[in-house]
Amino acid sequence: MYRQSPYYKFTTYQGLPWGLNNVQPYLGFFQTGRLARNRNESLTRATQQRFSAYLQDKILIKNRLSLNIGLRLDHSSADFLGGLYKPAGAYDPVLRVVAPHVFKETTVPDVENAITWTMLSPRIGMVLDVFGDSKAALKASWSRYNEALRMHHIMPLCPMFRMSWVAYWMDLDQDGIVDADDGFTEVRSFGDPDEFDINKVLDKDLASPYVDELVIGVEYELLRDFNISLAYIRVR
């Protein structure tokens, strides 16, 4: 992921902070981004692997009750690829000068198996032929679904991820342009990328988010090829 301009948000005030009486934007507020400017200096480089297996069995009891039992195994892992990371702000002639402690390149090491998720997701379903005439069915199922490891889970491992700089700008030379020798007041900074420690953002106990789904329903064949059904679904 990359972004050509480091500026996320830039607002100027037409107000007159020092009692000046023309309408130049003397005072501004801006928020800068953390993303890299070029694709090859992208925000996060990582490799991901995923392995899944599924076991399923169907059991029919007295031609009335059928049970579906399944078990899914998902294993996903990601290696964080280190190297040189450079934020877009490091190219900006102003930001590079006014916040050199933030907008600089940094080199970070590879982290193998930075995130590893192994999840077992059981599923069980039943269909009961209530009267044995195939007209009325009672259905119930319970399933667990887990989320696969995605790029947004890996992104916070990058030293640039939390790197932004928010500042007030005072257009001291009143030219309406943000220059390095204007006045800047740092409001918020995530600091020096060299002080980034991947182990501080990495929670080894992190597990895949999941949802459990319960479905209970009834289905009745009112006429030939005409069914009515009612279902209750709860996901959490």
Q: How far is the CB of 27 from Ca ion (least distance, A)?
A: 11
Is the Cβ–Cβ distance between 74 and 116 less than 8 Å? no
Q: Looking at beta carbons, which residue is closest to Ca ion?
A: 179
H and E: helices and strands count for the chain: 3, 12
Q: Which CB, 24 or 38, lies closer to Ca ion?
A: 24
Q: Which CB, 6 or 193, lies closer to Ca ion?
A: 6
Q: How far is the CB of 163 from Ca ion (least distance, A)?
A: 25
Q: Which CB, 170 or 218, lies closer to Ca ion?
A: 170
- DSSP helix/strand/coil, 96: helix
- DSSP label at 44? -
Place of tokens 């702000």: 89
Q: Which CB, 115 or 178, lies closer to Ca ion?
A: 178
Q: Which CB, 173 or 195, lies closer to Ca ion?
A: 173
Q: What would the DSSP string read from start to end of 133-182?
A: SSSEEEEEEEEEEEPPP-HHHHGGGSTTTT--EEEEEE-TT-SSS--TTS
Q: How far is the CB of 110 from Ca ion (least distance, A)?
A: 42
Q: How far is the CB of 11 from Ca ion (least distance, A)?
A: 16
Residues that bind Ca ion (CB under 5 A): 171, 173, 175, 177, 179, 182
Name 1's Cβ contacts closer than 8 Å, sequence gap at least 6.
Answer: 35, 36, 42, 43, 44, 155
β-partners of residue 226 are 223
Q: How far is the CB of 236 from Ca ion (least distance, A)?
A: 54
Q: What share of the chain is helix, strand, coil (3-state, %, to 5)?
A: 10, 50, 40
Q: What are phi and psi of 42, to 5 degrees?
A: -60, 165
Q: How far is the CB of 97 from Ca ion (least distance, A)?
A: 13
Q: Which CB, 183 or 209, lies closer to Ca ion?
A: 183
**H helices present in 24-150, as ranges:** 95-98
